[in-house]
Structure 1
Amino acid sequence: MPNYQNYVFVVDTLGQPLSPTHPAIARKLLKQGLAAVFRTYPFTIILKKTVENPGNEALRLKLDPGASVTGIALVNQSRDTVIWAAELTHRGDRIRAKLTARRVVRRHRRCRKTRYRQARFNNRKRQEGWLAPSLKHRVETTLTWVNRLISSRPITDISMELVRFDTQKLPNPEISGVEYQQGVLFGYELREYLLTKWQHQCAYCGGQNIPLEIEHIQPKSQGGFDRVSNLGIACHKCNQKKGSQPVEQFLLPKPEILKRCSVQAQAPLKNAAAVNSTRWALFNRLKPTGLPIEIGTGGLTKYNRTVQGLPKTHWLDAADCVGKSTHPPVENQNSPAITNYLFWARWPSKSGS
C-alpha cells in the first residue's frame, strides 16, 4: 500500500498544472505573497509567475465507480504515494424519488384534465446509449471531477474499475453464456458475483455482516454441479449443518426459504447489465481525454485488497486496489486527509467516510 500524504495542487499564472507540493511549502508561498488561493476544493494555489519546463512528475488518476459512492485517488507511482483522495457521494436515489413524484403529479393532471386519458408510456424514442437520469448522474458528476482534476494536475494515466465482475471468468455464467476460462482471479470474480446475487446474506438463515462461504445448493455427492445456478452463499454454521444433505431435506421445516432459494438460484443477476452499463458509459466518456485508460474488474480489486490486507473503503479501493498497476504494499503508511464530496462538493469529513 503506498504512503499517504495530503498534498496541495499548484498551477502557474497561465493555468499550467505543476507538481503538487507539501502543505508546509504551500503555506510559506502564501505567507510570502508568492502565491494565492486559486480554488478551495480541492485546495489549489496559483503562483504569481510563469514556470517554463516544469518537469512535472506523472500522476495516475484512479477511479472506483460505485452505486452510491465513487472513490477517487491521485497516485504518484514513481514515489509510491497517494497525494490526494476523495469519495464522491451520489444522489441517484433522491433523483429517482423526485422523478417519481413528478410522474405521479403529471399523470394525475392528465387524468383530471383530459377526460381520464390513459397514462402516456412506451412511446418515446430513446437514443443509443440512453441512461436513466439517476444513472446518468453518476457518470456526469464523476466526469466533472475528472475534468476538474485533469485541468490543473499533471495527470498522464487513468485507471478505473470497469465492471463489477468479469462474466467470462464464471463457470457457465447466467448472463453471457461464455464458457469459464481458468485464471487466478476465478474465485474472486465468482465470489463477487454470488455476493451480489444473494444480497450479501446467508441463503439459509439470512445472516448478514458475517463471514460467508460459497456453497453447493445441491451437493456434488448428490449429483450437483459447479454451475453458478447451483452455487449459493452461506454462513459457516449453516454450511456445516447442511453438509451433504439435499437442499430439500435440509430446508424441509422451512418451505418458504426453500422456495425462495430455488427461485433465486436459477434467476440471473438482472441488474448486472445496468450496473456495468454505467461504468461503460463513463469509460466511453473518458476516451476523449486522450489519456491511456487502464481497466480492471471488481474481482481484481477485491483480490488486490485481500492480498494487501486493506479495509473496505471506496478511496482505498481506488488508490491501492484498482487495476493491475497497483504496487505491492510498503511500510510506514500514513493516513491521508480524505475529502468527502456530496453531489459536487461538501466540506471535508474528519472520519474519512
Structure 2
Amino acid sequence: MAVLVIDKRKRPLMPCSEKRARLLLDRGRAVVVRVHPFTIRLKDRVGGDTQPTRIKIDPGSRATGMALVREGGDGTEHVLWLGGIAHRGHVIHDRLAQRRAARRRRRSQLRHRAPRFDNRTRPAGWLAPSLQHRVDTTMAWVKRLRRWAPVTAVSQELVRFDMQRMDNATISGIEYQQGTLFGTEVREYLLHRHQHQCAYCAGLSGDPVLEVEHVHPRSRGGSDRVGNLVIGCRDCNQVKGNRTAGEWSEALGRRSALDRARKANAERISAGKRPSLRDASAVNSTRWGLFHALKATGLPVAAGTGGLTKWNRQRLGIPKTHALDAACVGTVEAIEGWSRPVLAIRASGRGSYQRTRLTRHGFPRGYLMRAKRVRGFQTGDHVRAAVGTGKKAGIHRGRVAVRATGSFNIQTPNGVIQGISHRHCTLTQRADGYGYHVQPKIAATKEEAGSKAA
C-alpha cells in the first residue's frame, strides 16, 4: 500500500512506497501524521512535481469502494491506494426509531404535549438521515484524500437499478406504468389473491376479522411492498407477533390441525417471499445526491455505468470486491498494481449522549460515567497494547473502550481483548469516528490470470 505524503506546509505530494517512507523516517527527514491511512510529512521539502491522480468511487448501500489511481498517458491507471467504507445507515435507522417511540410516549402515555413548532420541513434534495449518512461519509473521505494526495479528478459509478425488472423479469412496455395494483387497491388485491381467507390458517381459526399482515414485520425493517403483504386473521396476526413467517413456522408445532395448517402455510409464504429491494432503493436514492456533492468540490467528475465497470473487471481479470470495482469505474484501458492491501474503514460514530442503560421495561439500569477521557484515553482511540506476561501477553492493536477503573477493552480484527490496563497502552491515533483494519491483498486466480494474459 502506497504511503501518502505531504510537504512541510501540509500540501499534498505524490505518494511513495513503504520502503522509501521507512528510509525517510529512519533518517529523520519525515514524521508520521496518521496511521490510517498511513501518512507522513516531510520536514525539509516544500512543493514538488506531481502527476494527475483520480479518486474513483463505487457507491453501495452497505459499503462503498474507493480507489486512488495515478493516470498514465496511454490510458493505463496505476492503483496507489484502495479502501472500503462500511456504512452504518441501519444503526441510524434504529436510533431514530427509538427516538420516535420515546417522543410518542412522552406526548401520549405520560401527558399530552402538543408540538411547539413545526420543524419537519423537507427542502429540495432532502434525504433520510440513514441515506444522507452514506453521502456524507463518502464526501468526508473524498475531502481527506484531497488533503493528503494531489487529486485532479473524480470518477463515480452512477448506477441505477431497474427495481420493477428485478421484481418481474418479463415486464415491458406499458406494464411499467401499470404496476402490480393496476385497477385495484391493496386490500382488495390481497383479498382476491388469498380468496378472502387467512393466508396462514385458511379460516380454521374461526376469526372472521381479516387484516393486512406483513410477512417480514415493519418493526424489523419490512417494507410495505405488495410482495411483503398477505391477508391474515386477527388471531394469527397476534400469535405471529413480531416474527417473520419463517421464524413463526419454526416455532409452531404439529399438535392440532390449526397448528399444522399454520406451519405449512407460513413455510410456503416464507419460501415464496420476494427478495428485499432496500439496498437497490438506497443506491437509487443517493446516487444523484453524491454526484451533485462531488460536482460542488470544483473537480472534474466523470460518471460510469455498472455494466462498464463489470466489463472492465472481467476483461482485465480482476476479482470482484468493492475497492477493486471502484478501480474499474469509467473508461479504463489497463490497470496496474491492483493486487495490494485494502484499508477497511468502518463508520462507528463518535459515541452517544445516552447516560444510562435501560431495561426491557424502559427503566434505567445503572449510569454511565460522565468523564469522556480516562488516563488520557477515550473510547474510539486507536492504541497499541504491549502486554508482557499473563494470559493476554502479546501485542494488541485496535480501538479502545475506556472504563473508569483504568482497565480497558481493545477491539482487534480477531475479537475483543478485555481487561487491558491503561499502563500497557500507547496512543497511535485519536478517535475520528471510524474503525480501521488492513485486509490482505487479493491475488488473481489461475482463470483470471489466464483471461488477463489472453
Q: TM-score range by the shorter chain?
A: 0.5 to 0.7
Could you say which residue in structure 1 is the equivalent of 2:219?
none
**Distance change (3 Å), C-alpha of 1:257 and 1:164:** farther
Could you say which residue in structure 2 is the equivalent of 1:150?
146
Could you say which residue in structure 2 is the equivalent of 1:317?
325
Alignment gaps of 5+ in structure 1: 1-5, 178-253
1:298 CA drift (Å) = 1.9
Aligned: 1:162 with 2:158:
yes
Aligned counterparts of 2:436 and 2:278: Cα–Cα separation in 1: 37
Aligned: 1:280 with 2:315:
no
Aligned counterparts of 2:278 and 2:34: Cα–Cα separation in 1: 43
Aligned: 1:68 with 2:62:
yes
Asked if structure 1 preserves the Cα contact closer than 8 Å seen for 2:324 and 2:338, the reply is no
Aligned counterparts of 2:280 and 2:17: Cα–Cα separation in 1: 42
**Distance change (3 Å), C-alpha of 1:113 and 1:339:** same
**Distance change (3 Å), C-alpha of 1:64 and 1:271:** closer
Opposite residue 17 of structure 1, the aligned amino acid is: P
Asked if structure 1 preserves the Cα contact closer than 8 Å seen for 2:78 and 2:335, the reply is no
Compare relative contact order (CA 8 Å, sep 6+) and give the higher one, 1 or 2: 1
Aligned: 1:345 with 2:434:
yes
Aligned counterparts of 2:35 and 2:22: Cα–Cα separation in 1: 14
Opposite residue 157 of structure 1, the aligned amino acid is: A
Opposite residue 154 of structure 1, the aligned amino acid is: P
User: Cα deviations across residues 240-279 of structure 1 (Å, max 9, x unaligned)?
Assistant: xxxxxxxxxxxxxx9x989x98x97xxxx79856532312
Report the number of matched residues.
Answer: 260
Q: Which has the higher helix share?
A: 1
Aligned: 1:328 with 2:334:
yes
Could you say which residue in structure 1 is the equivalent of 2:39?
44
Asked if structure 2 preserves the Cα contact closer than 8 Å seen for 1:164 and 1:299, the reply is no
Work out which of the residue numbers 33, 36, 56 in structure 1 matches 2:50.
56
Work out which of the residue numbers 9, 13, 16 in structure 2 matches 1:14.
9
Asked if structure 1 preserves the Cα contact closer than 8 Å seen for 2:62 and 2:89, the reply is yes
User: Cα deviations across residues 262-318 of structure 1 (Å, max 9, x unaligned)?
Assistant: x97xxxx79856532312111111112211111012222222223333332100100
Aligned counterparts of 1:346 and 1:275: Cα–Cα separation in 2: 23
Taking the TM superposition and a 5 Å limit, the aligned residue runs for 1:15-164 are 15-52=10-47, 54-78=48-72, 80-115=77-112, 124-164=120-160
Q: Give the % identical residues.
A: 44
1:76 CA drift (Å) = 1.1
Opposite residue 128 of structure 2, the aligned amino acid is: A
Q: Which has the higher strand share?
A: 2
**Distance change (3 Å), C-alpha of 1:341 and 1:335:** same
Aligned counterparts of 2:21 and 2:437: Cα–Cα separation in 1: 19
From the CA coordinates, give the structure whose radius of gyration is larger. 2
> RMSD value over aligned CA atoms?
3.5
Aligned counterparts of 1:83 and 1:124: Cα–Cα separation in 2: 44
Aligned counterparts of 2:172 and 2:54: Cα–Cα separation in 1: 34
Normalised to the residue count of structure 2, the TM-score between the two structures is: 0.51
**Distance change (3 Å), C-alpha of 1:7 and 1:274:** closer
What SS does the aligned partner of 1:348 have? strand
